[in-house]
Structure 1
Amino acid sequence: MFVPTGETPPPFKGYTLILPAVSVGNVGQLATDLIISTLQLAKVGHFHTDALIPMVGNNPYATSSENAKELSTNAEVYCSKELKLAVLQIRAPILQAKTKEFRKTIVSWIKSSGFSRTVLLSSSHAYQRDDQQMQGTSLRFLLSPKLEQEASQRIKELEWREMEKVSAFPGISDSEKKLYIPGGGITRALYNDCCNEDIPMAVLLTFCSEGDNIPDAFALANYLNDWLHLLSTPADRSPQWNVPASWKLLFGNGIPPAIF
């Protein structure tokens, strides 16, 4: 359930919603961090749900000692009225027994809020690609039928590659194909939910491996910006994303020199 910070919820009707999937390398969450930090989005509420592992921490987007003391939780919503943009950042894993319930909550909120489109940022295991997925860029997209009517021409101009379907029975029969996103968390299920509910949704994802996934996050954020133009940049330059203060703690402290 969405709980607004103020007394009245923000008017999300006509807004674009961006949210990450908790997936391999946490790439979607890292890319979402870049968007919130760079655009300096204001926090407008949080999600109250028992489907996510509880957590609390300091402000991940702190810019001074004063606002560093603000608390953040496992699922918070940020917004820009000027850009008509809402961002849901998810900072904790989804409990396995509650994934279906969580998807229903998200779909219900999307429908009741009147978002014009939803963009899910995700990732998939690079080592489980088939031969066709090994070619070209590691970035892929999916569009729900409802969004395809609106965005297909722009996507065609960008020359993006759609996420390929793979053989349901590899080595036995290639006649039956299925959408397979290993390591993508709820990506495929939420995408199918939105297709069934006639919700305009795009999935932007990248193939990656666990490790230092900061470059993957920048690549996914740039991929999104090519479409939505969240940041205005010259054609010959990449967007300048602001790294949030919390990224200093991604890999913990350095190796103590005393051990040598």
Structure 2
Amino acid sequence: MEFILEEGKRLHEECSTLILPALSIGNVGQLAVDLLVSSTRADKIGYLDDPLVLPCVGNDAYEPVPRGLLALPLEAYDSPSNALTLIQQRSPVVKGMMVEFAKNLANFAASTGKKHVTVLSSLDSGKRQKLDVLSETQIYYLSTANNDGSDNDCERIGWKRLHEYNPVQRSWKYLDDLAKGDSLLEDNLSIEDELGHEDYFPSLPFAAIFSCCKAKGLKVTCILCYCSEGDNIPDSLLLAEAACKLLGPGSDSFRGNEGGGWVIPLSWKTVYGPPPDMSLF
């Protein structure tokens, strides 16, 4: 992975917290990062070039009037006033290469002096435990603060630790070994092994990023919400607000369209395609 600074831009040392999405159901993590980039007025400082991410290109996603600037698969934005660096990922990772990609991200975070990596992601509501279905809790977390994944700061906010995290369970342990370089790809779990419910969560992108950043000695917090495919804008608002609660800047401090609050990105106007042709009715 290579980081390319845009001409005239620089990395801000005060931006010690990195926020990035982990691709999952409904693209909720990406939508939440969209909100944070547009609402903090973060400045694009460069992009990351990684052969493990599928190529894509599009128009500028955030300006009120598109200027014809290209949007690339992995872009970096700095918000010095909030001490944040944000990475937006717009295309998926090559199949089977998620751990290697996560290692590259962890190396980038460590080499640029990040102290805290915050991963925003969604979880399939169909995998939610029956006991949790009746709970009013919407945000779950996973942290490196303690060995069991718990974090006092997250608990004070009212979030629940992801129950399915078990560092000694075979898939979580194998992922941890891979991140540390203690296992080879040939040592993968046998395809004859029966995969259970407990193996689902370690297979997700957020888990790979969590394990690889942890292996680099970085503080990591994954902020997670259950959802289904559909209109996931409310889920993204929830996840972005959760990031603000943990990291400090409140959405009421953003320079919103009416003096405060969230700034909806221009690209969201076509997130579900153009409106229907009314001449059909």
**3-state SS of the aligned residue for 2:81?**
coil
Q: In structure 2, the residue corresponding to 1:82 is in which secondary structure?
A: helix
Is residue 15–residue 80 contact of structure 2 (8 Å, CA) maintained in 1?
no
Matched with 1:171 is none
Deviation at 1:254, TM superposition (A): 2.1
Paired with 2:41 and 2:88, the residues of 1 have a C-alpha distance of: 14
Matched residue of 1:97: which SS? coil
* Structural mapping, 1:67-106, within 5 Å: 68-106=67-105
TM-score w.r.t. structure 1 length? 0.84
Q: Is the 8 A contact 1:125 1:209 kept in 2?
A: yes
Structure 2 contact 26–232 (Cα < 8 Å) conserved: yes
In the alignment, the residues of structure 2 paired with residue 113 and residue 55 of structure 1 have an alpha-carbon distance, to the nearest angstrom, of 25
Are residues 146 and 128 of structure 1, via their aligned partners in 2, closer, same or farther at CA, if it must alter by over 3 Å?
A: closer
Matched, 1:240 2:261: yes
- Which residue in 2 is equivalent to 1:18? 19
Mapped partners of 1:247, 1:108: distance in 2: 32
Instruction: Give the 3-state SS of the residue equivalent to 2:201 in structure 1.
Output: coil
Deviation at 1:107, TM superposition (A): 0.9
1:187-206, Cα deviation, whole Å (9 max, x unpaired): 11221222333210000010
Q: For the residues of structure 2 that align with 1:44 and 1:20, how far apart are their CA atoms? A: 18
How far apart are residue 156 of structure 1 and its match? Answer: 2.9
1:166 offset after TM fit, Å?
A: 7.3
- Residues 1:217 and 2:216 aligned together: no
Partner of 1:96, secondary structure, is coil
For 2:207, the equivalent position in structure 1 comes to 188
What CA RMSD, in Å, does the superposition of the two structures yield over aligned residues?
2.9
8 Å Cα contact 1:123-1:207 kept in structure 2: yes
- Unpaired runs of 5+ in structure 1? 169-175
When the two structures are superposed, what TM-score results if normalisation uses the length of structure 2? Answer: 0.78
Say if 1:196 and 1:164 are closer, same or farther in 2 by CA, change over 3 A.
same
Give per-residue Cα distances to partners, 1:18-45, cap 9 Å, x unaligned.
Answer: 0001110000000000000011110000
Q: How many residues align?
A: 246
2:159 aligned with 1:160, yes or no? yes
- Cα distance, 1:8 vs structure 2: 7.0
Q: Is the 8 A contact 1:146 1:199 kept in 2?
A: no
Distance 1:255 1:180, change over 3 A: same
